[in-house]
Amino acid sequence: MFDVGYFARVLSLLWRFKGKKKSENIFCETIVKSRCWPNDLDVNWHMNNARYLRECDFGRMSLLLETGLWEALLQRRKNQMKDANVVVSAFQVQYRQSVGLGDTFEIRTHIHGWDDKAFYLEQSMVLDKNHQTAFLLLARFALTPRSLTPQMLIDDLRIGSIQSPTLSPAMQIFKENHRLTYQEIKSKL
């Protein structure tokens, strides 16, 4: 079934950033506010696991728009890489507390760093009612085609010579775990 609400929120994000000056700080934290609605609930009357991930989609979109990375990606598509894209290729999730009907929260997203293939992001859901983290997600945000690197997109922003900082120990472990598989499956990301 076509999810009208999802696309309405995407359009809302695009409208929010239309004509807005992009952040000069690639490491800025972006914040998207939301609420748990009846259609977000599971049989236990708290937010369904899939909805946490859906909310993180909006956080990643906001990050791309606010930092100018989305615009840089679109320019790549126009100029030389028609298939340029960014996709989540791995994530690690930690649930810390339930989100109930009507609870309001923020999705906070920021870039930890990057390598020659992907950006590494941290996203958290912080509840308004107690200011505690309900959910934490580490994500590997890969670029396609493989000839497109995160550093190329960062350089396209023209905000100075910026290199990736050293990843935190937790993010480094996540990065290494991404390489582990249960079966040999060739990755295209």
Q: Which residue has better confidence, 80 or 1?
A: 80
pLDDT score recorded for residue 17: 80
- Residue 188, pLDDT > 70, answer no
pLDDT score recorded for residue 102: 96
Q: Which long-range contacts (CB under 8 A, 24 or more apart) does 76-79 make?
A: 76/148, 76/152, 76/153, 76/156
Which domains occur in the chain, in start order? 4-178 (3.10.129.10)
**Mode of pairing for the β-strands spanning 118-127 and 85-95:** unpaired
Average pLDDT of the chain is 91
pLDDT score recorded for residue 3: 80
Question: Which two structure tokens, joined as six digits, stand for 81?
Answer: 């890489």
Q: Which residue has better confidence, 60 or 186?
A: 60
Instruction: Convert the pLDDT of each residue in 55-93 to its tens digit.
Output: 999 999 999 999 999 999 999 999 888 889 999 999 999
CB of 30 closer than 8 Å to CB of 63: yes
Rounded Cα gap, residues 159 and 26, in angstroms: 9
Instruction: Convert the pLDDT of each residue in 122-131 to its tens digit.
Output: 999 999 999 9
User: What is the pTM assigned to this prediction?
Assistant: 0.88
**Mode of pairing for the β-strands spanning 133-144 and 85-95:** antiparallel
Instruction: Convert the pLDDT of each residue in 130-182 to its tens digit.
Output: 999 999 999 999 999 989 999 999 999 988 889 999 999 999 999 988 777 65
